[in-house]
Amino acid sequence: MKKIALITLVSLLSFGVIAQQKHHKSKSRSGGGTKHGVKSTGSLFMDFGLKGMAGSSVFINSNLFEDNSYNHGFTSSYAFGGKFALDFGEHAALVVEGLYGVIGQNFNITDSLNGDWTKAIKLKSIDIPILLRKNNPETGSYAEIGPQISLMNGYTESPSTTVNSFSKNYWSMVFGFGGYLWGTDNFGISTGLRFVYTFQDIMDQDVSNQGSPTSGYIGGSFWENAVSYDTYQKTTPLSVFFVLEANYDLGFIIAKNECTGRRKFLFYN
């Protein structure tokens, strides 16, 4: 079906029923809490971690969705990297991540000239999300939101019968939620879901608008059949990921000493 990719994305939401431990230590990973007997009130905590994400993506383009010759197939996507968080007590954190990500789109194309065939596109990028995270120390759950800049690191097309030009960088919006799964004193593992929507065109419009005799006015995507489109339409990916994250609490900054007036950073043992 034409909207198989969207259906696939929705089906991945079944992972949303994640087994979260609601009765755990009175802290949430990447969310402060009472750590090592130090009350979190008025303290800044720091933690870092590793994370991996796996899911699916779909390239949204109105020309293609209205074209019955293009069917969006299931396309796997993934990302992995590290994160650093500054926790403002138990309930809020500022999180910066550095990820290597791969998203893409498989098109099952019905071509009146060349017959049915499949086009596979993969975009590789360095992704830098900057997120505000809201933690619930009672349940260990979290929600996060923020912008992400993606720096294009390469792409592949199969078969590579045309040359498409992609933007060198683009902005997305990230939204996610999840919860604490397991941990020890200052180490924890959490799981969740993350949605990433790119609201900028990933195509280089200066090149995409040129069109060609076989692709017509290509409308910001990967046209290789004999269909012509009246207007240019931007291409904006939507991705959903299952997230697995491991965090290590590095230490915390205590309030100013009444005698010296200085703050101090303490590492956890």
Give the model confidence (pLDDT) of 185-232 as tens digits: 889 999 999 999 999 999 876 654 444 332 333 343 444 544 567 787
3-state secondary structure of 11: helix
> Left if phi > 0, otherwise alpha if psi is -120 to 50, otherwise beta: which for 230?
alpha
Structure-token pair, residue 51: 């994370």
Beta-carbon-side half-sphere exposure of residue 239 (alpha carbons within 13 Å):
28
Beta-carbon-side half-sphere exposure of residue 194 (alpha carbons within 13 Å):
28
* Rounded average pLDDT over 144-156: 95
Dist CA 13 CA 18 (whole Å): 10
Q: Which of 18, 24, 69 is nearest to 182 (CA)?
A: 24
What pLDDT shows up at residue 207?
52
Residue 137 vs residues 118, 187, 263: alpha-carbon distances, Å? 48, 15, 25
* Rounded average pLDDT over 7-18: 41
What pLDDT shows up at residue 257?
56
* Rounded average pLDDT over 56-84: 92
Comparing 18 with 178, the larger pLDDT belongs to 178
> Left if phi > 0, otherwise alpha if psi is -120 to 50, otherwise beta: which for 36?
left
* Rounded average pLDDT over 247-255: 75
3-state secondary structure of 5: helix
Q: Is pLDDT at 163 greater than 80 in this prediction?
A: no
- Domains of the chain are 4-267 (2.40.160.20)
What pLDDT shows up at residue 76?
96
Residue 125 vs residues 42, 45, 116, 155, 197: alpha-carbon distances, Å? 38, 30, 30, 9, 15
Comparing 100 with 70, the larger pLDDT belongs to 100
Q: What percent of the chain has pLDDT over 70?
A: 67
| pLDDT band, very low/low/confident/very high, at 68 (cuts 50, 70, 90) | confident
Q: Is pLDDT at 99 greater than 90 in this prediction?
A: yes
DSSP string across 58-84: EEE-HHHHT-TTEEEEP-EEEEEEEEE
What pLDDT shows up at residue 37?
40
pTM over 0.85: no
Q: What number of other Cβ atoms are within 10 A of residue 72's Cβ?
A: 23
